[in-house]
Structure 1
Amino acid sequence: MENILLLIVLIICTITDIKSRKILNIVTFPAILLGFLYYLLINGFDGFLFSGKGFLVGLGVLFIPFVMGGIGAGDVKLMAAIGTMKGAFFVFYAFLYAAIVGGLIALFIIIRRKDVKGFFARITNSVLLLSLNKRKESVQVSNRDLAPSFPYGVAIAIGTVAMMFMEGRI
């Protein structure tokens, strides 16, 4: 039951993330609520704790990238929804698979844009900015200096489906 619901949520979130670069609250919040309610009804308080731990791990694994501006809040809420439906162990490994997929997508984008030189320039600039910020100097960054981005919900969906395959649930 939860696998079908999860797949529906992932499909909707992937489509909206590709089209509008948003993962909608109208999808993630009900998914979170349904995850909690499902396990509460099936396993009582232990089920609620199962979903709660998954929720916290789902939030936690993407919290730092969100705070640093690398991903959006919708990505974090999607991982939390995955955690409520599948638990802490599942969402942690789904996150690892998503990180690998996201890295491969980013590498593909860099190579396709023939921007390997720009990639290393951005890394160098980031290191320099960090060292300058320690001295409290102000530095302006233009949009031209930023790395290309992609809808990370796609990587989350692929990583989650990969984890479902690894469990033998699909």
Structure 2
Amino acid sequence: MPIDSWLQATLLLLVSIAAINDLATRRIPNRLLLAALACALVLRLLSPAPGAALLAALGGLGLGLALFLPLYLLRGMAAGDVKLMAVVGAFAGPYDVFSIAVLTWCAGGVMALLAALWRGRLKLALGNMVNMARTVLVPGMPAVAPQEKSSAGTIPYGVAIAIGTIIVLVRYHG
């Protein structure tokens, strides 16, 4: 089996385990992420062009981190989600991790809206999103984290990351 197939199969296993764990415990274990990162790097080094493959892994890891870190800093997601996206990037590379991130944001947005509707907190959720956008888009606007009591709730974002990843993997095989 070619290295790309091993990378994709291991990535599918990673996001599946992370999503299930996030649903069950609302945590994505660091041990899982470290083991997966080591696996991604070893598989990349075993490829026919290990230098280019390792650069792709590091580029994907960096881009995955860069795309999700601002959301963590705005308290829009947990650190485990950011680390998971970085590790997904090590498997997928920079081009695919960007596609995965965009699809993940779409899936996460739908999940968040459904959760806010379910909890009867849609107005609060939309207000929080406007405040986050204003912080990013308006120069000089101080970053103010929402108060605990003004949170519209959380979602297991590892599930959204799994959905985005699976959609990209299906694109290759289906």
Normalised by the length of structure 2, the TM-score is 0.82
Q: Check whether the contact 2:45–2:51 (CA below 8 A) recurs between aligned residues.
A: yes
Q: Check whether the contact 1:37–1:48 (CA below 8 A) recurs between aligned residues.
A: no
Aligned to 2:115: 109
* C-alpha distance in 2 between matches for 1:2 and 1:140: 37
- 1:92 lines up with 2:109 in the alignment: no
Aligned to 1:169: 173
Aligned to 2:3: none
- The RMSD of aligned alpha carbons is 2.5
Deviation at residue 123 of structure 1 after TM alignment? 5.4
Aligned to 2:13: 8
Distance verdict in 2 for CA 1:100–1:141, change over 3 Å: closer
Alignment of 1:15-164 (within 5 A): 15-42=20-47, 43-122=49-128, 126=131, 142-164=147-169
* C-alpha distance in 1 between matches for 2:95 and 2:141: 37
Q: Check whether the contact 2:61–2:93 (CA below 8 A) recurs between aligned residues.
A: yes
Q: Secondary structure at the match of 1:22?
A: coil
- Give unpaired runs (5+ residues) of structure 2: 1-5
* C-alpha distance in 2 between matches for 1:140 and 1:67: 9
Identical pairs, percent: 28
* C-alpha distance in 2 between matches for 1:72 and 1:37: 27
More RCO (CA 8 Å, sep 6+): 2
Question: Could you tell me which amino acid in structure 2 is paired with residue 5 of structure 1?
Answer: T
Q: Deviations over 1:70-89 (max 9, x none)?
A: 11121111111111111101
* C-alpha distance in 1 between matches for 2:129 and 2:39: 41
* C-alpha distance in 1 between matches for 2:173 and 2:9: 10
* C-alpha distance in 2 between matches for 1:4 and 1:72: 26
Deviation at residue 142 of structure 1 after TM alignment? 4.5
Deviation at residue 12 of structure 1 after TM alignment? 1.0
Distance verdict in 2 for CA 1:143–1:2, change over 3 Å: same
Q: Check whether the contact 2:74–2:145 (CA below 8 A) recurs between aligned residues.
A: no
Deviation at residue 121 of structure 1 after TM alignment? 4.8
Normalised by the length of structure 1, the TM-score is 0.84
* C-alpha distance in 2 between matches for 1:57 and 1:44: 20
Aligned residues: 163
